[in-house]
Structure 1
């Protein structure tokens, strides 16, 4: 079974999650691919797809890429500079899932806190101190706290989630069982 981990990262946080997942997946045939290097051939049995959240969903490169995936077992993960247990985080993850769920089998998903890129923080600071993405004291504090994310614990959780799901999918196939979408 071949596993492809394909991601898009702005600040390097999604790349960290993708690398942790890649390292944990036990498949003998696996690849790690950054979309900034172009779109890979979709020849894996399992595709684990990661993006950074932009405007409540996948960033532009991943948003354009996801609908091209058909007939695969996929997992979706994302990072965002907000709280991973918030409704905003869930909606941002669901936006990515919506782009693949009709044509693929969903193995699972994961959303992770991630430090914002310096360029995005600079843009928010230029906007002043009012508005949802402004440089308000509350947002400045959140940005400071999230600079340490993803943590090792978050990376381990993402890695375990998809290591286990890829293994489970493989075992279903080996035993002639149909795997139903989890999400």
Structure 2
């Protein structure tokens, strides 16, 4: 059965997951590997990876998902805010809602991913403002934890999710 690995990656996190999938799945069955493109939809199963933008798949990946019909789809993604299975489930639910009902979701996987340094700088600048938000220290701590992700454990869990 043929497959394609399609991903969108702003910081390299989702690309790292996509490359792990390519190393894990049978090479001879791969019909496409790369960013969203019409050619990928020729495969029977699509492994579609996204980065999270405001609780949803990024715009490019989201547009691609909306074009799929009658496919088996495995969704994978990364989010800067991690540590909460409930948050990941909420994102995956939002992404699945974009798929046409003729598709079948055969699996999902999400993990935390590092964010650009500009995010931390923005949080620190917000702390200097009058009446800063009370959750800024938590956001900075999350940013620092995310720097190590995806890590070896995240990649191993992805491999397990596709087997």
Aligned to 1:179: none
**Against the structure 1 CA distance between its residues 142 and 25, is the aligned structure 2 distance closer, same or farther, given a 3 Å change threshold?**
same
1:14 matched to 2:14? The reply is yes
Equivalent pair of 1:8/1:62 in contact (CA under 8 Å): yes
Cα separation, 2, equivalents of 1:64 and 1:51:
11
Equivalent residue pairs, number = 157
Q: 1:67 to 1:124 in 2, by over 3 A?
A: farther
Runs of 5+ consecutive residues of structure 2 not aligned to the other structure:
none
What is the CA distance between 1:117 and its match in structure 2?
A: 2.3
Instruction: Quote the Cα distance in structure 2 between the aligned partners of 1:43 and 1:70.
Output: 11
Cα distance in 1, alignment partners of residues 78 and 34 from structure 2: 17
Match of 2:50 in 1: 51
Alpha-carbon contact 2:82-2:112 (below 8 Å) kept: yes
Distance 2:19 2:38 in 1: 17
Per-residue CA shift, 1:29-74, capped at 9, x if unaligned? 2131123xxx241111110001011111101111111110111111
SS of 1:153 mapped into structure 2: helix
Deviation at 1:122, TM superposition (A): 4.2
- Per-residue CA deviation, residues 115-162 of structure 1 (Å, 9 max, x unaligned), is 112344445555x13459x7x222111111110001111111112312
Q: TM-score, normalised by structure 1?
A: 0.78
What's 2:116 paired with? 117
Partner of 2:73: 74
Q: Which residue of 2 aligns with 1:95?
A: 94
Q: In the alignment, what sits opposite 1:149?
A: 149
What TM-score, normalized to structure 2? 0.86
Aligned to 2:35: 34
Which residue of 2 is the match for residue 178 of structure 1?
none
Unaligned runs of 5+ in 1: 165-183
